[in-house]
Amino acid sequence: MKNDTANPTGSFKDRVVSVALTKARELGFKVAACASTGNLANSVAAHSARAGMVSVVFIPKDLERAKVVSTAVYGGHVVAVEGTYDDVNRLCAELASEHPAWAFVNVNLRTYYAEGSKTLAFEVAEQLGWQAPDHVVVPVASGSQLTKVARGFRELYEVGLLEEEPHVRISGAQAAGCAPVATAFAEGADAIRPVRPDTIAKSLAIGDPADGWYALHEVRSSGGAFAVASDDEIVRAIRLLARTEGVFAETAGGVTIAALAKLAAEGVIRQDERVVVYVTGHGLKTVEALVSLRPTATIAPSLDAFEAAVDVDGDLHRGDR
Ligand SMILES: Cc1ncc(COP(=O)(O)O)c(C=O)c1O
């Protein structure tokens, strides 16, 4: 697992924003902006604060509470838009042409922003002793990350940092409630039909993905596949990952782990492959998904009450954790 939950603002977006805002400063921009499904907002607000830039981030108004709070805390402007991410994105495209002096990280600075995702490939190769994995599973919203992970492995070989030419199979993960690229893959179609998202994986809820076609192409040409996860499967996968690896992922991570499990069960992922799954955001950002979790017991402060309520020896005996 490539665990990207432990970045400064808890998601892989710190990679793309780090590159985009470094470039924005070099180019003389004073205002940083973005259209976000949540994680990008967190990161743009934080990096702008550190860089002394004014930030203006645009989000759909129904985002998780933690994503809003952990953007607003950095002091920039947070604008909640009545609509989906795709409405937010269209508004930002219009604003970017009205305000050419603003650095919209995923609009007019998108080329730099996208470069940041390549580090997800660079680091994985480095951590595997300068070898590429056989197969990766990557979450897909706009499709930028998946496309750049694939490109990253190829570029490492082109500059001589990988001895063998990599043939990494690239598989994509989407939520069942927002799966335009996975659907095109399943139907063998070339065109991606936009959808209206309805999923707890709000960070992946892009109905009309800008880089969807490229992501589809990377998956097909590398011999990978797509898998989708329902809301229930997302929650179960979050709990599975936490229970077995001690990593608490947000809903996007649940999508990716559920997709990994499905691809393995279907035999798409083979036994002999070295597989890397990208877990790209921290679970504290989307606790709403797990509201049903409660303490094991609520007890009076006494030994008897504890012994009556909790059977730790039984867990040990059964091998439960
Ligand atoms: C946690 C997380 N993982 C993955 C993605 C997918 O990124 P991309 O838009 O590059 O496909 C996002 C996008 O917002 C995200 O927030």
- Whether residues 48 and 124 share a domain: the answer is no
- Whether residues 82 and 121 share a domain: the answer is no
Residue 191 lies in a domain: yes
Confidence of residue 66 (pLDDT cuts 50, 70, 90): very high
Residue 314, pLDDT score:
85
- Whether residues 175 and 26 share a domain: the answer is no
For residue 281, the CA-to-ligand 1 centroid distance in Å is: 9
Mean pLDDT of the chain: 97
Residue 317, pLDDT score:
86
What range defines the domain where residue 71 resides?
A: 14-113
The pTM for the full model equals 0.96
> For the chain, where are the E strands, in sequence order?
2-3, 31-35, 54-60, 77-81, 102-104, 135-139, 169-175, 226-229, 275-279
- Whether residues 129 and 54 share a domain: the answer is no
Q: 113, 137, 164: which is the final residue of a domain?
A: 113
Confidence of residue 316 (pLDDT cuts 50, 70, 90): confident
Q: How far is CA 243 from CA 236, 239, 246, 249, 296, in A?
A: 10, 6, 6, 11, 15
CATH number at residue 242: 3.40.50.1100
For residue 292, the CA-to-ligand 1 centroid distance in Å is: 25
Residue 192 lies in a domain: yes
Mutation test residue for ligand 1: of 3, 4, 145, the one with most atoms within 8 Å of CB:
145
- Whether residues 172 and 274 share a domain: the answer is yes
Residue 94 lies in a domain: yes
Q: 82, 113, 144: which is the final residue of a domain?
A: 113
Atom of ligand 1 nearest to the CA of 250: 1
Mutation test residue for ligand 1: of 106, 280, 282, 284, the one with most atoms within 8 Å of CB:
280
For residue 141, the CA-to-ligand 1 centroid distance in Å is: 5
How many CA atoms lie within 13 Å of 302's alpha carbon, on the beta-carbon side?
A: 4
- Is 145 near ligand 1, meaning CB less than 6 Å away? yes
Residue 169 has pLDDT above 80, yes or no: yes
- Whether residues 38 and 109 share a domain: the answer is yes
Structure tokens at 239: 């709990």
Q: Can you tell me the mean pLDDT for 174-193?
A: 98
Maximum distance among all Cα pairs of the chain, rounded to whole angstroms: 68
Q: 70, 93, 113: which is the final residue of a domain?
A: 113
Q: What CA–CA distance (Å, rounded) separates 175 from 164?
A: 34
Task: Kindly report, residue by residue over 87-125, the tens digit of the pLDDT.
Answer: 999 999 999 999 999 999 999 999 999 999 999 999 999
> Which residue, judged by its Cα, is nearest atom 4 of ligand 1?
139
- Whether residues 144 and 257 share a domain: the answer is yes
For residue 145, the CA-to-ligand 1 centroid distance in Å is: 7
Residue 267 has pLDDT above 80, yes or no: yes
- Is 178 near ligand 1, meaning CB less than 6 Å away? no
Residue 160 lies in a domain: yes
DSSP state of 204: G
- Is 140 near ligand 1, meaning CB less than 6 Å away? yes
Number of domains into which the chain is organized? 2
Q: What CA–CA distance (Å, rounded) separates 48 from 40?
A: 12
Residue 103 lies in a domain: yes
Residue 180 lies in a domain: yes
